[in-house]
Amino acid sequence: MTGPLALVLGMLVVTLAGGVWVGVALLSIGVVALETFRDMRVDRFLAGDIWSSSTAVELITLPLFILMGELLFHTRLSENLFRGLSPWTRRLPGRLVHVNVLGCTLFAAVSGSSAATTATVGRITLQELLARGYDRRLAVGSLAGAGTLGFLIPPSIPLIVYGVVADVSILELFIAGLVPGLLLAAMFMGWIAFRAWRDPSLVPPQEPAIPRAEAIRSLVNLVPIVFLIGFVMGSLYFGFASITEAAAIGVLGALLVALGQRTLTLRGLWQALLGTVKTCSMIGLILVGALFLSKAMARLGLPADVANAIQSWGLHPFTLIFVLLLFYLLLGCVLDGLSAIVMTLPVTLPLATAAGFDPVWFGVFLIITIEMAQITPPVGFNLFVIQGLTRDGIFRIAGWAWPFCMIMMVFTALITVFPEIVTFLPHSTRG
C-alpha cells in the first residue's frame, strides 16, 4: 500500500468515524494529501476547483427537481394515489399492498428522492393497510422496498449526481433508469402476490367488489400526478426541453397542482423553499468535497494504481461486479448513498469501464446498490422514515424489507447478464 493511499484511507476512517461532515472530511483529506505529497499551491487549486464544481451547468437541475418534490409533499397526492389505485388492486393476490408499489412508482416519477417517496406514500397507505388488517410485516416491508424506486425512476437526484461526477449524459441516464425501474416494481408486485397466495392470512377477508363505473371514476384522482409526469418526462423524452428546462417545467407543474388542489399556503411554500435550500446545501457540500478529493487523488495517481492492482488479479467481469456489489452493500451500512457514490467513483468507474461495462449501465447498477443501502441498517434512510411513521425498530423494519433487498440483488445479476435491459433505450437515442 502506497503512502498517499494509506493516508487517504486512514483519514477517511478517522474523520467519518469521528462524525465529521462528509463534505468537510473529503475536502480536508484532499488538502492534507496534496500538502503532504505534492509541491503545489493547494489553496489556489482548491479555490478554483470549488468554483468550477459548484457552478457546473448540470447542477442547476438539482434544486429545481428537489423543489418540485418539496412542493408535492405539501399536496394531497398521497391521498389521491390511494383513492385512485386501490379499486384496481382489490382483485390481485395481495390486494391493497400493491398500492405501496404502484404509488411509489408513480410518485418516484415526479420526486427524485427515495426518502420523499417513502414518506409521501407511506403516511397514507400504512395507516389504511394496518387499519384494514393487512400483515404488518408485508405492508411495512413492501413500502421500504418500493420507496427506493425514488432513486432509480427518473427524475432521480442520485442519477444527476452520478452524471456530474462521472461526466455522463444525464438524459441518457434518465432514459436508462426507466425500464429497470418499472421491471423492479413488477418484481416487487410479483413477490407480494406470491406471498399472499402462499399465505392467505397475510391479507384480510375479501372486501366487497367496487362497481366498474366507480373504479373508473376513481381514476380522476390520478389525473394530477399523470399530468405532472407527462408534463415533465414527456417534454424531456420527446425532445421538447432539455434537462434543466424539464426541471423548471416540473416546478411550474407542481405549483399548478398545488394551486389546483388549494393546498399551497405561504407557510407550505416557505417550508418547501427551506427544505430545498437545506437539501441542496448538503448535496452541494458533499459534491464539492468529493470532486476535489477525486482530483487530488488523480494528481497523486491513486485511481490508476488501485485499478492496475485489481486488474492484475485477473478477475472475470462478472466476478468484479459481484465484488463491487458486496463493497457497496458494506459501504451503505455506514454511509448514505450519495456519499458512497462520490467518494468511490474515481476508482470504481475506471475498473468497470476497463472490464467492458458501459458507464451508463454502471450508473444504473450503482443506483440499485445504493437503493439496497437505503434499507440496510444502521444507516438506511428509508428505515428512519418508516420508523417515524410506525415507531417500529430499525432492525425489525430491515428484517421485513429483506426480501425486497434480495429481489434487488437478483435484479443486479439479471442486468449484469443482460445489460441490454439498461442500455437499449439510451443507445437507441444516440442514433
Q: Which of 289, 294, 292, 355 is nearest to 324 (CA)?
A: 355
- CA triple 338-184-240, angle to 5 deg: 70
Cα–Cα distances (Å) from 419 to 109, 146, 357, 415, in that order, read 23, 22, 9, 5
Q: Which residue pairs, CB below 8 angstroms and at least 24 apart, start in 79-82?
A: 79/124, 79/221, 80/221, 80/222, 80/224, 80/225, 81/106, 81/107, 81/121, 81/124, 81/221, 81/222, 81/225, 82/124, 82/125, 82/128
Residue showing cell 441516464: 173
Q: Which residue has the higher pLDDT, 7 or 103?
A: 103
Q: Residue 144: its pLDDT value, please?
A: 92
Q: What is the band of 191 on the pLDDT scale with cuts at 50, 70, 90?
A: very high
Answer yes or no: are the C-beta atoms of 81 and 124 closer than 8 Å. Answer: yes
Q: How much is the average pLDDT of 364-383? A: 83
| Calpha distance 46→310 (Å, rounded) | 30
Q: How much is the average pLDDT of 261-277? A: 84
Written as one letter, the residue type at 293 is L
Residue 178 has pLDDT above 80, yes or no: yes
Q: Residue 35: its pLDDT value, please?
A: 80
Residue 365 has pLDDT above 90, yes or no: yes
Q: How much is the average pLDDT of 347-361? A: 89
Answer yes or no: are the C-beta atoms of 175 and 429 closer than 8 Å. Answer: yes
**DSSP code per residue over 63-98:** HHHHHHHHHHHTSSHHHHHHHHHHHHHTTSTTGGGH
pLDDT in tens, 326-339: 888 877 776 667 77
- Give the three-class secondary structure for 106: helix
Q: Residue 366: its pLDDT value, please?
A: 93
Q: How much is the average pLDDT of 287-299? A: 75
Q: Residue 378: its pLDDT value, please?
A: 65
Q: How much is the average pLDDT of 187-202? A: 94
The top-scoring range by mean pLDDT among 187-191, 296-300, 343-347, 372-376 is 187-191
Q: Residue 180: its pLDDT value, please?
A: 95
Burial of 109 (0-12, 13-18, 19+ CB in 10 A): buried
Q: Residue 58: its pLDDT value, please?
A: 64
| Calpha distance 19→16 (Å, rounded) | 5
Q: Residue 337: its pLDDT value, please?
A: 72
Q: How much is the average pLDDT of 70-74? A: 78
Residue showing cell 428509508: 382
Answer yes or no: are the C-beta atoms of 122 and 141 closer than 8 Å. Answer: no
Q: Which residue has the higher pLDDT, 19 or 145?
A: 145
Residue 420 has pLDDT above 90, yes or no: yes
| Calpha distance 345→405 (Å, rounded) | 23
The answer to which of 83-87, 97-101, 241-245 has the lowest mean pLDDT is 241-245
Residue 135 has pLDDT above 90, yes or no: yes
Q: How much is the average pLDDT of 241-266? A: 83
Answer yes or no: are the C-beta atoms of 250 and 232 closer than 8 Å. Answer: yes
pLDDT in tens, 201-243: 999 887 777 788 888 888 888 888 888 888 887 887 777 877 7
Residue length of the chain: 431
Q: How much is the average pLDDT of 371-380? A: 77
Q: How much is the average pLDDT of 50-57? A: 67
